[in-house]
Structure 1
Amino acid sequence: MTAPATYATTAQPPARQYQHWRETVSATHLAWDLPARSEAAFDGRIRSRALGPAGLIACRCDPCDGRRGRGEIARDDAAYFGLLCILEGGEWLDSAGRETPLAAGHAMLWDSTRRMRFRAPARLRKITLLLPQDLLLAALPDAADRVGEPVSLRDGAGALLLAQLRLLLRGDDLPAMQQPAVLHSALTLLGAAFDPLAGHGSDGRDNAAALRRRIMAHIRGRLDDPALDPQGIADALGLSLRHLHRVFAAGGCTLDRWIWHQRLLRCRHDLSLAPAQTGSIAQIAFRWGFSDAAHFSRAFRRAFGVSPREWRRR
């Protein structure tokens, strides 16, 4: 883990402070568009460090707002989930049409591939953990469907996760050989904080969570089958169709929506590789269960904010 890097707008002349803040936010939190303003003076401070492939950023700042649109999404080098933890103040976030007011003591996930807006109406202090999407999906398979869902950092796994992130930001350098274990610990706590079925064996919900993971594993193994449907899944796993939908919906997402998004994620992964490896855009769409190239293109843009062609060109 590299030593922390610290940025402070107060080190700049007053006429340069807000512009410096705009540049620093995009340098540390992926690409953002913060609107120009007439007031040049601005108090903002950032402390960031890397944790293996992840990034950890502490931020405190005056009120501000910003957005991520197609242009900003196209500037990123990979797809990430951001875990936003509010320590003081509050922030309004609008992601994929879902507006979430986030208060101190709460966290939520955002997806770097989706359009997003934020507004901090008062002085703000927060921590952001940036995670490559494949890394988080291994710990929280339905992470894409948890985007915009607030969770508490005041107790349980959420409180432990926040304490760990604070220590990592304050601590000395961590030997490279210890970083995977520390990151795995943070991912485990994050998954436990977001999974409402975790840790409740007394009422049987742990069994429902295990069954939901089994359903997900079965689906992932057959995403390239255009005939994949709920009835076939239920038959393969020895479940009634009603029970299948009920168990899966307990995780906060419908079965059909989850299958659809998983197919889009597979397509996005293939579009990130060389065309010689994966074929044309239409071939990729058909490979992962889409039967109409135009429908796939529209669905991809709705999910990730850019067309398949723009993603590949990136």
Structure 2
Amino acid sequence: MNNLITGLDKFNNVISDVFCPMSCKSLPGYSSNAFKGELSSRSFNKTAFSKISSGPIIANRTKEDISRVSDAYYLIKFQMEGQGIIRHNNREAKLDTGDFVICSSVEPYELEFAKTYKQTVLSIPQDTLQSMFHSPDDYLGVRMGNELPTHGILSQFVYSISQRMDILEPDSLQNMEANVLDLLITSLKAEQKLKLKTSEISETSPEIHLQQIKRFIDLHIKDYRLSVDFIAQAENISKRYLHMLFKGLDVSVSRYIQQLRLAGCYKDLRNKEFNLVSVSDIALDWGFGDVSHFYRCFKSQYQVTPRQIRLKAKV
């Protein structure tokens, strides 16, 4: 797919179709009608590569935009030329040429480009990346600087592919896709090691560490894998220490997770937008693996059944 796009509204529509719904606006002093951008995209086996460039712009992925599409993707944004600012997951990443950042299509984020720029975007289904690396959400909005050797090698390789992806044979692209994914996982593991080395959080600062654990749980609350083992491994701490952190809350880790999931189900059951979604599907979406167990927990928590909550909301 190749596009030379004139006008901000048209550009907004095209990138919303290729990536996910977005809300774009031009910077003060720049005409929306005179706005120009370019986009080319190619789908591979598991992923898709897109080259994008345009004039100055601010693009927001809002909660309203997220509600318009259910597909979950990670968007790895490589800065090929110019500079950009990405605000995501309460973080701000300032990208120079050769840097990259990970964004999630199911979370709000903002992109700002004060001048013309070029990016290559690698789109990966959420399940695909999570099966290869257990906690990519921990790195949403984190600048992956090209000064780190693994990041620089990955960025250069992606740049080389993007320059030639229109002329490469499909078989060659499939092989290169596997190499890109391998390099991406290598980069994430390198970033993980760097995080552990530079982290200010240790077992001597339990209050700060507890807040980090709670943020991690919030990010992964719909992931059926979320458990004591999953958290301990992701945070590189012992299960004993994790249980100790929650003692001050007078609730176990598992119960804390369950309460958040039940609250999420309760909210959806009262939301008329979910009237056509079955109770079972809502429970599964919030990470409950056993629907019968969900019904028992819900009744114990709220003294009413999920169906009664839904009926009451319809009145």
Q: TM-score, normalised by structure 2?
A: 0.61
Q: What is the CA–CA distance in structure 2 between the aligned matches of 1:286 and 1:143, rounded to whole Å?
A: 18
Give the corresponding residue for 1:6: 2
Structure 2 stretches lacking a partner, 5+ long: 198-219, 245-252, 266-275, 302-309, 311-315
1:243-293 CA-to-partner distances (Å, cap 9, x unmatched) read 999xxxxxxxxxx79x96xx97xx99xxxxx967x8252476473598669
Give the corresponding residue for 1:41: 34
Residue identity matched to 1:184: A
Written as runs of structure 1 = structure 2, the 5 A alignment for 1:155-234 is 156-171=149-164, 172=166, 180-196=174-190, 229=228
Closer/same/farther in 2, CA of residues 233 and 288 from structure 1, 3 Å limit: farther
Contact 1:225 1:288 in 2 (8 A): no
Residue identity matched to 1:187: L
1:84-107 CA-to-partner distances (Å, cap 9, x unmatched) read 111222222222322222222211
Q: What is the CA–CA distance in structure 1 between the aligned matches of 2:52 and 2:285, rounded to whole Å?
A: 40
Matched, 1:63 2:56: yes
Contact 1:139 1:188 in 2 (8 A): no
Closer/same/farther in 2, CA of residues 168 and 143 from structure 1, 3 Å limit: same
Residue number among 82, 87, 93 corresponding to 1:89 in the alignment: 82
Give the corresponding residue for 1:52: 45
Q: What is the CA–CA distance in structure 1 between the aligned matches of 2:69 and 2:124, rounded to whole Å?
A: 13
- Following superposition, the deviation at residue 55 of structure 1 comes to 1.4
Contact 1:81 1:112 in 2 (8 A): yes
Q: What is the CA–CA distance in structure 1 between the aligned matches of 2:232 and 2:159, rounded to whole Å?
A: 43
Q: CA RMSD in A?
A: 4.4
Residue identity matched to 2:112: R
Contact 1:63 1:121 in 2 (8 A): yes
- Following superposition, the deviation at residue 119 of structure 1 comes to 1.1
1:213-247 CA-to-partner distances (Å, cap 9, x unmatched) read xxxxxxx9xx8799x547x979xxxx6835999xx
Structure 1 stretches lacking a partner, 5+ long: 204-219, 246-255, 269-273, 296-308, 310-314
Give the corresponding residue for 1:100: 93
Question: Identity of counterpart residues, as a percentage?
Answer: 16
Q: What is the CA–CA distance in structure 2 between the aligned matches of 1:141 and 1:99, rounded to whole Å?
A: 23
Which shows bigger deviation, 171-180 or 155-164?
Answer: 171-180
Give the corresponding residue for 1:74: 67
Q: What is the CA–CA distance in structure 2 between the aligned matches of 1:233 and 1:158, rounded to whole Å?
A: 26
Number of aligned positions between the proteins:
241
Closer/same/farther in 2, CA of residues 137 and 90 from structure 1, 3 Å limit: same
What SS does the corresponding residue of 1:109 show, helix, strand or coil? strand
Contact 1:49 1:169 in 2 (8 A): no
Closer/same/farther in 2, CA of residues 72 and 124 from structure 1, 3 Å limit: same
What SS does the corresponding residue of 1:75 show, helix, strand or coil? coil
- Following superposition, the deviation at residue 60 of structure 1 comes to 1.6
Q: What is the CA–CA distance in structure 2 between the aligned matches of 1:160 and 1:133, rounded to whole Å?
A: 23
Closer/same/farther in 2, CA of residues 292 and 35 from structure 1, 3 Å limit: farther
Give the corresponding residue for 2:135: 142
Contact 1:60 1:123 in 2 (8 A): yes
